Amino acid sequence: MPRTLITGGAGFLGSHLCDRFVAEGHDVVCVDNLVTGNPDNVAHLVGHPRFEFVRHDVSTFVYVAGDVDHVLHFASPASPIDYLRLPIQTLKVGSLGTHNALGLAKAKGARFLLASTSEVYGDPQVHPQPESYWGHVNPVGSRGVYDEAKRFAEAMTMAYHRSHGVDTRIVRIFNTYGPRMRLDDGRALPAFMGQALRGEPITVFGDGSQTRSFQYVDDLVEGIWRLLHSGETDPVNVGNPDEVSIKEFAEEVVALTGSSSTITYEPLPSDDPKVRQPDVTRAREVLGWAPTVGRAEGLRRTLDYFRERVEAA
């Protein structure tokens, strides 16, 4: 029975991966220091014979007894509000944490998968963004702590692949949403959902013309599963290319929730990308993957979760 270790496993994405791998018959070791992760995300798995939770900071040495077949490195603050609050921790988990996770994979002879991000493209000057694009990142800007941590993590992953023969995969994740996102994590969907459900004005930064491409979490998990079991060692974009402006996205949330909220505008944060859309040609060709959940359906699936969170607050 395969044994898979998932760092950041109590986070939004990591917990959905824990679900998938347990369902697929894997023994899962979930490692998380709970700085931004939430034990409630994996509480339903506690006590399952194929699930183990380990509270640990992967920026320090990582040791796990026994065999490990896969290491999925998903530990990192991932929303601007978190990595701006925790800049040094973000840099450490992207550098030291990646080094430690790769070292574990090397020692165990495990396949390694890195959770990278569309943020490696920065504020892109190529649109949509293919994996061949090197990006346009401000290394000393406030967002650089996350962007450069992930770019370094990719370089470290490829160094272990080339120098030590570690079997590696890199997924570049584009904006993803779904249940288990924190209401206060600062990203567009939870912010808009929370404000709309409370009847508060919805805050849009800039004039709202900047674009994003949102994918439902189930599509991402499927793409990651396929990438892990593929032979592709170069980075692969996984995202939904259905691009929308932030203003239109806010209006969709207002309509879905039936809210009376109005939209207000605040200054655009420093280095905020103006456009974001994945070129998923490689994912289609090498993984046979394409998103299946449209934004309207995904938002409907997510609404009840956020309504429960707002009512419980």
Q: DSSP 3-state assignment of 79?
A: coil
Q: Over pLDDT 70: what percentage of the chain? A: 100
**Residue 271: predicted pLDDT:** 85
**Residue 313: predicted pLDDT:** 82
- Catalytic (active site) residue 133: no
Angle at alpha carbon of residue 148, lines to 145 and 152, rounded to 5°? 130
Strands 176-177 and 215-216: parallel
pTM > 0.85: yes or no: yes
Which residue in 186, 187, 151 sits closest to 170, CA to CA? 151
Residues 47-75 have pLDDT tens digits of 999 999 999 999 999 999 999 999 999 99
State which fold the 3-176+215-238 domain adopts: Rossmann fold (3.40.50)
**Residue 272: predicted pLDDT:** 87
CA distance 96 to 153: 9
Residues 252-295 have pLDDT tens digits of 999 999 999 999 999 988 888 999 999 999 999 999 999 999 99
Indicate which residue of 83, 121, 146, 160 is catalytic.
146
Q: HSE-up of 18 (CA within 13 Å, CB side)?
A: 32
- Asked if 227 and 171 count as a contact pair (C-beta separation under 8 A), the reply is yes
For 179-212+242-273+293-312, CATH gives 3.90.25.10
* pLDDT tens sequence for the chain (313 residues): 999 999 999 999 999 999 999 999 999 999 999 999 999 999 999 999 999 999 999 999 999 999 999 999 999 999 989 999 999 999 999 999 999 999 999 999 999 999 999 999 999 999 999 999 999 999 999 999 999 999 999 999 999 999 999 999 999 999 999 999 999 888 999 999 999 999 999 999 999 999 999 999 999 999 999 999 999 999 999 999 999 999 999 999 999 999 999 999 999 888 889 999 999 999 999 999 999 999 999 999 999 999 999 999 8
H/E segment holding residue 238 = strand 236-238
CA distance 155 to 143: 19
Residue ranges per structural domain of the chain: 3-176+215-238, 179-212+242-273+293-312
Residue 80 makes CB contacts below 8 A (sequence gap 6+) with: 143, 146, 186, 187, 269
